[in-house]
Structure formats: C-alpha cells, structure tokens
Structure 1
Amino acid sequence: MALLGGASSRDGLPHALEHVAKAHRGFHPDADIAALRTAYLLAEDAHRGQTRKSGDPYITHPLAVTLILAELGAETTTLTASLLHDTVEDTEVTLDQVRSGFGEEVAYLVDGVTKLEKVDYGAAAEPETFRKMLVATGSDVRVMSIKLADRLHNMRTLGVMRREKQVRIAKVTHDVLIPLAERLGVQAIKTELEDLVFAVLHPEDYARSRKLLLANADRPDPLQETAAEMREVLHAAGIAAEVAIRPRHIVSVHRVLQKRGELHGTDFGRLLVLVDEAADCYAVLGELHTCFTPVPAEFKDFIAVPKFNLYQSLHTAVADRRGHVVETLVRSRQMHRVAETGVVALAGQLARPAAGQVGDWLKRLLEWQRSTPDPDAFWSALREDLAPDQEITVFCDPGGPLVLPAGASCVDAAYARHGETAHTLVGARVNGRLAGLGTRLTDGDALSLLLAPEASGPAPEWLDHAQTPAARIAITRWLADHPAARPPADGAMPAPADYAPGAPGGAVATAGSGSGAVRSGGPADAPDGAPDDVPHDVSGDGVPRPAEPAVAELPDAALRLARCCTPVPPDAVTGFVVRGGAVAVHRVECPAVARMATAGRRELRVHWRTGDGAPPADLRVTLRAEAFVRAHLLADLTEAIAAEGAAIVAADVEPPRQQRVRHTYTLQLPDPAELPGLMRAMRRVPGVYDVSRAQHPPGAAQRAPGLRARTR
C-alpha cells in the first residue's frame, strides 16, 4: 500500500485513499473529495513513524476505519473526522488546527472521539469511559458511528494481543458495543462484531459453527430453487422485486443450532425480497402467502411498528413446494439501507440534535449520566438497559406504539413514554381491564396509562415493579428528594393531612386508640360486630312518608332497612321477620337473602309505597368507591358527597394494594332519587374509576386495620 502523500492516482488522490473515495462516491456521487484528500495527507504526515502492534504503519488504522464508514454510506464530514480521529490524541496536531483547516463540525466530531480515547479501557475505567462516550454521542450520533467502526477494526486485528487482553476487550465489546450497534441500527457492524467476539470468548463453539457453515457451502443450496420460485410468482403478479439469499453469519448459525438441535439446508440462510416502494411490501406478502404455505407464528410487521432502532421490514416464513420452511424478509430498498447501516445512513437527519426514537434514547442516557453521579451505578444501569435481546410493542394511549424490553411493566411503559411526568401515574388499563402497576406487558397489548396531576408521586414499591433502568433511576431520585412522602413501614394508609375539624361532611379528626378512626356526626349506629340482618328503625314518629317499604302480609309490622345492603327506592326489596317481630327489608340481590332463604327463614313480599309528608329521616345506602391511591382522596370524596346533600353515617377505607384503594361509605340520603347523581359526582373525583352499590361487610370490627368511620 502506498502511504505517502506524493504517491497519487490520476485524479490526484493518494493511492491509499482510492478505495475510500470509490465507496463514498457510490453513495454520494457529488461528494467533494478534496476535504478527504487534505485530511488524509495531514493524518499520514502526523502519524508518520508510528506503528501498530502488528507492525503496520499507524495510518492503516484511520484509513481502515474510514473505509468501513464509507462502505456504510457515511457522509463526507464523518469520513473527514474519521481520518483525523486519532491525530489530536496521538500526534502534535491540535484541535484548533483541525478547526481552522476543516471547520467547526469536523473539529467537534474529532474532539468527541478524542475524549473517548483519553481513558484507558481497563476494568476500573470502563464506567467512566462509556459515560464520556455517551456524553459525546448524545450531542452527535456520528461520534458513536466513528467509535463503532474504530472498535470493529481493532477487533479484526485483535490477534496480535495477549490472550487475557483479547478476552477483556471482547467482553466489553459484547456487553456494550454490540448492543449499542444494535440500538443504533448498524446491523452490518453488529453482526461482524458478534462473530469476532464469539471467536474469542467461545472458540470451540465458533469452530463448530464455522465448520458447519463451510460444509454447507459445498452443497447445492435449496434456497436457490425457492428464490427462483418466488421470482416467478412475483413476476407473474406484475411486482418488480429482487429476491436474494442472505447467508447467516456464524453466531446466527450457532443460535439456530441451539434452538433446533440440528440444521437443514434452508436453515443456513434467509431470503430477502427488495422492492422500490413501501406499499409494494404488502403486495409481495400477499402473493407469498397465497402461492406458498405461510407459517402464521413467524409473521411480524416491523413496517407498521418499526423497531426501536428505526428498523423496518416484514418477517414471514413460508413452506415451498418441497415442504422446506424458508424464513423471508420483505422490505423496500430504503428500508434495507437503514436496516444495514442505521444512524450511519441517516447521519444528516440524526446529527446534532439527535431525532426519532434513537435520539430519544440517547437523550435519556444523557439524563441518566447527569442524575447518577456514581460511575459504577451508571455503568450497571447502562448494561442492564442494553442487555435485553427481545423487544415487545404495546399500543399505548396516549402516544401510539411503544417499544419496550420483554418483561417490562406498566411502570416501565409510563416512564418510557412520559419521562418524569410518570411520577403522576395512578393506574393503568391493559386490554381494557384495570391492571396493577406491576403487570408485565406482552407483545401487542393495548395499554392506557392513567395520570393525575395531583398524584402524590411514586411509592417505594414501584421499584419492585420497574424493570428498566430509566424507570428505576427516576423513581429512586424522586424518593431521595421526597423522604417525607414515603408511607409508614407497616404499609398502613396515613390519614390525609386535610382531614381535620371543619372538613366536608361534618367529619372531625380523632386520635382514637391507634386504629386511625375518623368519626362523623349523625344518629347512633348499631354496635360493631352486630349481625348484618339487624336493622335500624325508620318508622320514626309514625308520620306517613312518601317512600316507605310496605308488607302486605304484615301491614302493622315495624319495618327496618337492613344495614348490610341499605336499600332505597326504587330498589327491588324483600323482607324477613327478625327478633321482636320487626321485618328486616333487604335488597333482593343481598347475599343475606340467599343465606336466610337457605336456612328456612320465611321470605315476605315487600314493596315501596308513597304517601304525604317529608321524606324519611334515615334512608341509607352503602356505596363503594374504587380509586387509585393519591393524596387528599378521602377529603375530595367526602366533599363531593357533602355537595350532593348526603351525610356520611359510616366509612371504611381498606389498606391500599398495588396503588389501588377501596372506600366504602354508608350514607344517609335526603331523597333517594338523588342517588344516581351522587354516584356520578363521586365518579368525577380524580383518581376514582368506579362507584357501585355495596353490601356492608358483616363483623366490621374484625376487618383488617384501616381507616374507619362510625357514628357515636
């Protein structure tokens, strides 16, 4: 290889730069090569006399890195910076010289790469090295493109190093650089890095898979026949398409072998169908599924829902006419370019500032490194975030499709979609049903995230639900900043701060006996623990009332409304004689009715009658409000109840579970006709997702400790 600036081709380019220029013009025919020539001459002169461990002149390294990027379609600025990426660190060239000779943008990229090289890749230095790498990359993804190409060339030449150093570099590449290449969509670099790392870390498995691959190459390829059949089918349908065979690389062969135990001829590759327009992809899919036998479980649509790294393609598998199952990819040519080169192909769109899902992810990493001072903690979070090799797509309301790592929960989805606004998460619906915040999501789930601006913030148990570093870091930081917001260690629900004398509904705070009781005014209630069929008298002073129960068989009996189900007009009701000759009136669906009928108690027909005078003074109803935990919920509910003119006779708040809580209220109504409006008003309270008629639980005094209200 000619390396001196004086050795030039006919067009004035140094011979060493000809391959770079040819690859670059293939993607950018109008590119100005002059900047590359000047950059090469500066780099060749600056590195003259330096050699690599292999003994090669040092300039071979920046040249090789630049060729890798040129073959991926990188634009001229990236290639110029790539040629110069080691000059500021390893030679007398200064950043100011780069800036004055090549402009601010090239200087910015060179400086970003230089910062990554200033820290040794020793085990103790890795966290800080990659923190700096992400700081630089977060501003311009082209820095990472150069870094990935740099690591690829270093891995290609790793054999000259000691075995222990090979293993250390291969492990770091496996843990961080390969997942980063995947996240940035640079599939061409990722697959080669995988094979190079596999050879170092698992030499026996590598040798076995490589031997299988080479042996298969000497046999007739059954994919050739299937490809020819596909071409015929698509040509007959009038679809212009290219059908090519995509051989599997060594790691891919190993994975298929691990999955299936043995390999057949069609397992060594996949078919790739390329078309000009995205709409043609679905036309191709229709023809393939019509003329071949599709394997439904193998179909995935990454066009309608692109993967995190901008990847788009249709994945399917079909059985050909000989019964061979063939995996097939269908994509447009533009999709194919992005699938192979990711952010390198899109450098113009994803440069400073980064855009799209890839850009959002990089910005999130920057947020992590700013909020996580400990490099080791950041390193752990980064490795965990990069570790998942499976993704799911959920259809999130609001916001549309959301790509998450497999195993993610509703909490993870909230932080992925809303960032720190997810602190106001109060609940979620998965596929239309209410779900706990820790619910694990699966591919294709429909997810609705319920946020409330007045929510009090995340609880410590959210950390148990969070699987992604983004969620855990945000929750941990909030909890550290709000230590007073943490609930008592025993999980008991603290009384709201605003539930005090003068609060709505006539409630007053009381110390009680450690039970957290809250008392309300009103007529005396029956003793705690009384049987649920013991009624309370509603006959009062005997004055006729407009809506009272009546029993035809016992017209003079004292009528009492059962406390367990608190019937009000126009509920369907029934009755049973209780001690003292009174008739206890129950709603017909009350569980006590079935129990007493089974026990042989006589059931009486009861109906509501209308008369003149004031409404009854003691018609009661029990309502159950299901809500998400938040501050001031009790006060807001009691205020809504008071605004509708109802008085609280008794209230019970169960201990919260999975950020949900149940309030049960026994209410005294001025007019039973107001019940529907009262229930609507309670449902309008933020955080309340359901209000229903409830049965008053028997033996209330024996319930688990919680917040309770009762009359005195």
Structure 2
Amino acid sequence: MAATPEDSVQAEDQRYLISDLCSKLERYLQPEQVRDIYRAYLFGAEAHEGQHRLSGEPYIYHPIAVARILAEMRMDANSIMAAILHDVIEDTSTAKEQLERLFGAEVAELVDGVSKLTQIHFESKAEAQAENFRKMMLAMVKDIRVILIKLADRLHNMRTLGAMRPDKRRRIARETLEIYAPIANRLGMNSMRLELEDLGFAALYPMRSRVLAEAVKRARGNRREILSKIETAIMRRLVQEQIEGQVRSREKHLYSLYLKMKTKGLSFSEVSDVYAFRIIVDKADTCYRVLGIMHNLYKPVPGKFKDYIAIPKSNGYQSLHTVLFGPYGVPIEVQIRTEDMDRVAEAGIAAHWLYKTGDGGNGAQARAREWLRELLEMQKSAGDSLEFLENVKIDLFPDEVYVFTPKGEIMELPRGATAVDFAYAVHTEVGNSCIAAKIDRRLAPLRTPLLNGQTVEIITAPGAHPNPAWLNFVVTGKARANIRHHLKNLRHEEAGKLGRRLLEKALASFGFSLDSLPAGRVDAFVEECSLDSLEALLEDIGLGNRMPLLVARQLAGMAEEGESGATPRQPPVPLAIKGTEGMVVSFAKCCRPIPGDPIIGFVSAGRGIVIHSENCKNVADFRSQPEKWLDVEWEAEPQGEFAAELRVEVANQRGVLATVAAAIADLGSNIENVDIGERDGLNTTLVFTISVRDRRHLAAVMRKIRHIPQVMRVSRIKG
C-alpha cells in the first residue's frame, strides 16, 4: 500500500522528534549509549505501530516526550530507554523477558516497575489504582528511577490532558494533586511539583484557575514598580557590604495562591500583597551574613524566621526564610540560599544526575532513600493496597516539626505529630511497647502534639502493646500501619485462644475434647469448611463467625460411627470470663456488666462475644436467636477493670464536682468520662463513667460519695 502525503509528514515529525531527543542526549551521554536509545526507539515505534493517542497523534510521541523530560534532568541512558519503552509491556504484546534479552535486566525492571497490573482482576477501580500504586512504590524502593520515569510520564499526560473526557480529566487531575505532586515535593523536585499542581488545578477547577490567572495578570502591573524598588534597595545594600549575589523576585503559583486563600479564608488582595524575593550567594556562611543585612535593612516580623540550612527539610531542601516589614507597609518574604541549595531545591533527587559536581543531590538522595525504607516497612504492615495508599497519603505531609531525642539527635515529623508518632519514628518496637512520654523532662499524655525544639523521651514497658485508641490521634503513616498490624495480629491470636476454649467447652458436653477426637476427623472437617487449618477454624469460632455448639455437634457426630450430628450427653459448662480476654470479648455499653452481676454471652459475627447483664433490656431482642446465646459466668477472681456508670444528684455549689471526683479517686477508681446532665438553680445531675474491679468495689465508691454533704442521691445506671 502506497504511503500518503500525510504519512510522510508524520514520519518526518517522528524523525524530528527522535533526532531532537538524540541531539539533547549527545551533550552528556556517550555515542554508543545514544545508539542504544535510538535502538529502543525503533523497537518502541514498531511495538506501538497503529496505536494513536486521543489527540490523534501516533502513540510513540508520548514515550519520546517523557524521555525528553528526563533528558532535561540529564538522566542516565537506562532511564531514557525505559522511558521510551515504559508502555510496551502494558499496551502491546511485548513481554518483560523480551525486553531483558534485548536491552538488559536493568531496563526491563524499570519498565516493569512503571507498568500497571493489567492481568489481575480487582473488585473496584479504587482497589486497582491502589494496587498499581503499591507495585510502583515497591519498585521505586528497589530503584528510585522508577518514580522519576512515572513523574515524567504523569507530567506529559497532564500537559496533554485536553483531549480527554471531562470526568476522566477531573479524576486524573485529582490523583495528580493528591499523590504525584506531593511525591514530587517529598523528593524535593520543586519545579516538577509546581507544574503538576498548576496543571492539576486548571483541569480540576478550570473556572477558578482562569479567574485567578486573570486577577494575577491585573495585579502584576501594579506590583512591578514596588518590586523593582525593593530589588534595587537589596542589591545596593549587598554591593555596599561587598557581597556578590543574585536577587530575584518570585511570583506565587496559582495553586499555592488558591490553597492559601482557601485554608486561611483570605481574599485575593490579602494574599497578593506579599512580595517574595530569593537571594542566591556563594556559600552558607554568606547566607547568614545576608540574613543580618536584611534584618538591618527592613525590620523582621517576629516568629517568622526559619533556618532550613542548619535543619534541612525532609526532602533535602535548604534555605533561610524570613519575613520583613517592607516599604509602604508591605510584607516581604525572603529566601536566602547558595547556588547548590537552589539547584537541589528545584531538582531534588534529580540533582544527583543533573549536577555531577560537588555535593549535588546527595542530601536529597539520602533523605529520599530513608523515606523509601520507611515505605517498605509500612507496606509490610498494611493489610491491603487501599490501606497502604491511605498511609502513604497521610505521610506526604508538606510541613514538619523538628524535635530532639534525649541524646540530642534531631527527628523530623509531620505537623501535628504526637508522642506516639515519635515513638514509632524511633523504632517500631519502641512504638509498640510505649506506655508514657516525657516532653522537656515532664510527663505528658501520649496524645500530646509536639512542637518545634521539644525534647521527647519515650517510656516503654515489656509486655505493653498498642492501644486501639491511638488510631484516633496518630498522624504518621508508619505509626498508623504498625498499630493496625499489631492489633490485627493480636486480634487473630486472641480469637484463636477464645475459639479453642469455646470449642473445648462445647465438645466436653458430648464427652469429647480436641485431643480425644479420632485422628483425621478435625482435618476432614476443616477441609469440608474450605478452611486452611485448625487455627483458621478456631479464629472463626472466636470471632463469632461459627457457632461452637454446631461445630462440636458435627465433630462429635463424625466421630460416632459417621453420624452427621450428635446429642449432648451433659449440659455445657458455662464459659468463665476473666476480663483479660482482649478484643474478642467486649462488655455491652447498654448495661455495663461488672463482676458480681449475673451475665449472659451473645455471639456477634466478626466481634466475638458481647457480655450483657441477664436483666438487660436488649437481651429480650435476642430471644429469637437462642443458638447465639452462650452460658457464661465470672471467674472466681476476675482481673482487669470494668466500666460502670453512676448518676449523682448534687447541690449546685462551687467545687462539688472536684469533691466527688476526689472521693472516687481516693478509692482507686479512674474516671473515664463525666457528663453534666439536668441542672436548675439548686440541683445538678452528674453522670460518671468510672472503672471498678467488681460490685464490692463499686459499692465502696458509692458509699464514699453518699457521705459527701452536697450529695443528695447516688445510683448505678444499668441501661
């Protein structure tokens, strides 16, 4: 078939594109490396033959554009080849083994890391997205270049988003703003982050972006004269002090303007009135000299100075930040940094490839690798991909607080991090066994948010384990993932122990025990239930997903001449409740049973056993489900503490709440909650939730409260 003029134009465009890329690469790569990249292009062009993008252009244009973005970062030859081939596994019939044979194992691994999981069926789009993200992050842990290729791929997709349907545009833009722009920020790649954010903002909120862009354009004309005067004043002062440097005025990007207006509730004029400058000098010592000069030229705003040179940000960013009262009463933001710091601030980990001289991006690289190590630990603890994605999103915090260990080491944590987050940042085992914290040598609650400059010491105890309530206040992904992981394992362990006790009790009523059942009976039953092992069966029973009596009846029936069921020979012995069974035995909040109360157990699927008082009004609702009832009783010496509610009617006098609280504390009871109920001019009703050991302990607390002169009546609330 003869080629049409249109085909020849496209071919010329294609040749121009690859030749343009090769001319960029020839400036820093060896000729044989450029030849290998051209060979990868020929393979990619053939693999994508006949495929077109939504814009109508040949598909190969996209991989070349991604490679060009990486060439601007001066990435190595293998990264460029992987960029050209990054879609061949996903979108063509090419196999990873073929790439390995033709271009080497390194290129094949990079392409595989960027490729999506297309062969596996997922329940939902969210799950597929999360699993793809998880795979990419794990590949990134092995080789950091995977994320650089993925970011370049996303950047070109964002630049060419206009051809897509509006709903797809918005979905991709939201994903970019929530995941990819924060990752670029976390890796210190400021230029890429800003472009991704502005493109994402324009696609997600096109009208807001247009209005804001027009407002910035109008304001620019009014600001030019003031910016010029301030810039001249700064340059003149630097010359007087014989300091060589560059002074640049900075303009805030649309998305950062929008976020500032939205989060702080400011109008455009309030945000745009801030004038920003960057001063770039030769070395770090000069930065501090320039800071002194700036504070002498214009008065500094108290509390607005930040030293990111002494304590770099988690992404390797270094600079001095200060805010000054400028001329005409306008605030001036000033960043002071060296040329190396400026390059790393813009390119982040890519500075390692972009600038081979000096320190390059080594600081940013080391921090990025530390973050990746934490990601690997986090994914091991995460239950599934959605949980992992949620933990990573939490971890992509832009603001940090800097605190000290007792030995004086600096720890970086997200803004709002607590003592528990700090404990997990030190080590997973420290987090799992922490019981208290000292902040600046004073005991403080574990939920206390940390502030810059504080010294934090964690107190641990052997045998301690995470509290489920910690999930309500921790902010780091590492802490959240490890707490969930530990509790999940603990829950399985506790469910298994309870399941064994329940099954042994039920089997005893048929005259059997697990050990006395004929060999192979339990294995056959486990297989019949489509479970992996006896432990899985016991967990199911402990979590309330299977009734112990029914399981025991079937096991006993199988043991007795192949019968399908059996009749109990004796009434089942009640299950003894100790109070330390853990998360699989809970106490109903409607009646709050405590040792000494007559009790009944209700098996709840997924929750285990819920203990109610026998006279609880909710027990009547379970009459229609007798198979879910369980005979239970308190052990002779229960352990632990149990919640009870007291209603205390008192005279409305000053200090009465403190007096009652002191009486409760005197008898070794802890107050978990206080509600102030009905109140008139004379009387007040206080409702206390307190922890007690048993009914005798509760009676002693109530007697003590009754003896307080201001107390008129005290009673226990049972539902």
Question: How high is the TM-score relative to the length of structure 2?
Answer: 0.62
Aligned-partner residue type, residue 291 of structure 1: L
Among 132, 144, 148, the alignment partner of 2:135 is 132
Q: Counterpart of 1:151?
A: 154
Report whether the alignment pairs 1:482 with 2:485: no
Among 366, 370, 373, the alignment partner of 2:380 is 370
**Identity over aligned pairs, percent:** 36
> Deviation at 1:29?
9.8
Structure 2 Cα separation of the partners of residues 26 and 426 of structure 1: 59
3-state SS of paired residue (2:303): helix
> Deviation at 1:53?
0.6
More displaced stretch, 84-93 vs 333-342? 84-93
> Deviation at 1:52?
0.7
Structure 1 Cα separation of the partners of residues 198 and 170 of structure 2: 14
Structure 1 Cα separation of the partners of residues 273 and 68 of structure 2: 32
CA contact (8 A) 2:391 2:480 kept: no
Q: Counterpart of 1:410?
A: 419
3-state SS of paired residue (2:54): coil
> Deviation at 1:123?
3.7
* Cα distance, 1:317–1:116 mapped onto 2, change above 3 Å: farther
Structure 1 Cα separation of the partners of residues 481 and 670 of structure 2: 24
Structure 2 Cα separation of the partners of residues 702 and 151 of structure 1: 70
CA contact (8 A) 2:274 2:332 kept: no
Aligned-partner residue type, residue 46 of structure 1: A
Aligned-partner residue type, residue 134 of structure 1: M
Structure 2 Cα separation of the partners of residues 63 and 335 of structure 1: 30
Q: Counterpart of 1:236?
A: 240
> Deviation at 1:244?
1.5
Structure 2 Cα separation of the partners of residues 400 and 113 of structure 1: 37
Report whether the alignment pairs 1:74 with 2:94: no
Q: Counterpart of 2:563?
A: none
Q: Counterpart of 1:163?
A: 166
Structure 2 Cα separation of the partners of residues 390 and 133 of structure 1: 25
Structure 1 Cα separation of the partners of residues 370 and 316 of structure 2: 12
Among 441, 446, 449, the alignment partner of 1:440 is 449
> Deviation at 1:350?
12
Larger relative contact order, structure 1 or 2 (CA cutoff 8 Å, min sep 6): 1
CA contact (8 A) 1:2 1:16 kept: no
Q: Counterpart of 1:288?
A: 294
Q: Counterpart of 1:305?
A: 311
* Cα distance, 1:215–1:75 mapped onto 2, change above 3 Å: farther
* Cα distance, 1:227–1:657 mapped onto 2, change above 3 Å: farther
CA contact (8 A) 1:213 1:253 kept: no
Structure 1 Cα separation of the partners of residues 422 and 474 of structure 2: 9
> Deviation at 1:147?
0.8
Q: Alpha-carbon deviations, 1:240-284, whole Å to 9, x = none?
A: 211122222211232444544242796476211222323322222
Q: Counterpart of 2:47?
A: 46
CA contact (8 A) 2:275 2:330 kept: no
Among 208, 211, 222, the alignment partner of 2:211 is 208
Structure 2 Cα separation of the partners of residues 86 and 480 of structure 1: 38
3-state SS of paired residue (1:303): coil
Q: Counterpart of 1:360?
A: 370
3-state SS of paired residue (2:402): strand
Structure 1 Cα separation of the partners of residues 418 and 7 of structure 2: 58
Report whether the alignment pairs 1:55 with 2:56: yes
Q: Counterpart of 1:263?
A: 269
- Listed as ranges, the gaps of 5+ residues in structure 1 are 495-510, 518-651, 659-698, 705-712
Report whether the alignment pairs 1:397 with 2:400: no
Structure 2 Cα separation of the partners of residues 303 and 30 of structure 1: 40
Q: Counterpart of 1:533?
A: none
- Higher gyration radius (CA): 1
3-state SS of paired residue (2:468): coil
3-state SS of paired residue (1:450): strand
Report whether the alignment pairs 1:182 with 2:190: no
CA contact (8 A) 2:383 2:485 kept: no
Structure 1 Cα separation of the partners of residues 442 and 197 of structure 2: 42
CA contact (8 A) 1:398 1:449 kept: no
Q: Alpha-carbon deviations, 1:460-500, whole Å to 9, x = none?
A: 34334423332122123223333557769689999xxxxxx
CA contact (8 A) 1:21 1:33 kept: yes
Q: Alpha-carbon deviations, 1:627-663, whole Å to 9, x = none?
A: xxxxxxxxxxxxxxxxxxxxxxxxx9956899xxxxx
* Cα distance, 1:479–1:265 mapped onto 2, change above 3 Å: closer
> Deviation at 1:32?
4.9
Aligned-partner residue type, residue 41 of structure 1: L
Q: Counterpart of 1:420?
A: 429
Among 225, 228, 239, the alignment partner of 2:229 is 225
Among 382, 394, 402, the alignment partner of 2:392 is 382
Structure 2 Cα separation of the partners of residues 703 and 178 of structure 1: 61
* Cα distance, 1:296–1:700 mapped onto 2, change above 3 Å: same
> Deviation at 1:445?
2.3
In proportion to residue count, which structure has more helix? 2
Q: Counterpart of 1:608?
A: none
Q: Counterpart of 2:651?
A: none
More displaced stretch, 112-121 vs 331-340? 112-121
Structure 2 Cα separation of the partners of residues 103 and 178 of structure 1: 31
Q: Counterpart of 2:475?
A: 467
> Deviation at 1:28?
7.3
Structure 1 Cα separation of the partners of residues 360 and 144 of structure 2: 7
Structure 2 Cα separation of the partners of residues 3 and 420 of structure 1: 65
Structure 2 Cα separation of the partners of residues 80 and 99 of structure 1: 12
CA contact (8 A) 1:459 1:486 kept: no
Aligned-partner residue type, residue 460 of structure 1: P
Q: Equivalent residues in 2 for 1:539-550 (5 A)?
A: none
CA contact (8 A) 2:416 2:475 kept: yes
Q: Counterpart of 2:324?
A: 318
Q: How many residues align?
A: 507
* Cα distance, 1:398–1:4 mapped onto 2, change above 3 Å: farther
> Deviation at 1:323?
3.6
3-state SS of paired residue (1:243): strand
* Cα distance, 1:192–1:653 mapped onto 2, change above 3 Å: farther
* Cα distance, 1:107–1:271 mapped onto 2, change above 3 Å: same
Aligned-partner residue type, residue 437 of structure 1: L
> Deviation at 1:515?
9.4
Q: Alpha-carbon deviations, 1:63-92, whole Å to 9, x = none?
A: 211222222343333222212212233335
Q: Counterpart of 1:35?
A: 36
CA contact (8 A) 2:274 2:333 kept: no
Q: Alpha-carbon deviations, 1:82-131, whole Å to 9, x = none?
A: 12212233335443443344333222211211246767994452222212
3-state SS of paired residue (1:309): coil
- Listed as ranges, the gaps of 5+ residues in structure 2 are 1-5, 495-579, 596-634, 642-665, 673-699, 706-719
Aligned-partner residue type, residue 293 of structure 1: K
Q: Alpha-carbon deviations, 1:286-329, whole Å to 9, x = none?
A: 22112222223321111222222222221112233444322111
Aligned-partner residue type, residue 425 of structure 2: A
Report whether the alignment pairs 1:247 with 2:251: yes
Structure 2 Cα separation of the partners of residues 437 and 328 of structure 1: 37
Aligned-partner residue type, residue 202 of structure 2: A
Structure 2 Cα separation of the partners of residues 493 and 24 of structure 1: 76
* Cα distance, 1:247–1:319 mapped onto 2, change above 3 Å: same
CA contact (8 A) 2:186 2:315 kept: yes
Structure 2 Cα separation of the partners of residues 224 and 32 of structure 1: 47
* Cα distance, 1:399–1:98 mapped onto 2, change above 3 Å: farther
CA contact (8 A) 1:216 1:265 kept: no
3-state SS of paired residue (1:206): helix
* Cα distance, 1:315–1:233 mapped onto 2, change above 3 Å: same
Q: Counterpart of 1:430?
A: 439
3-state SS of paired residue (1:134): helix
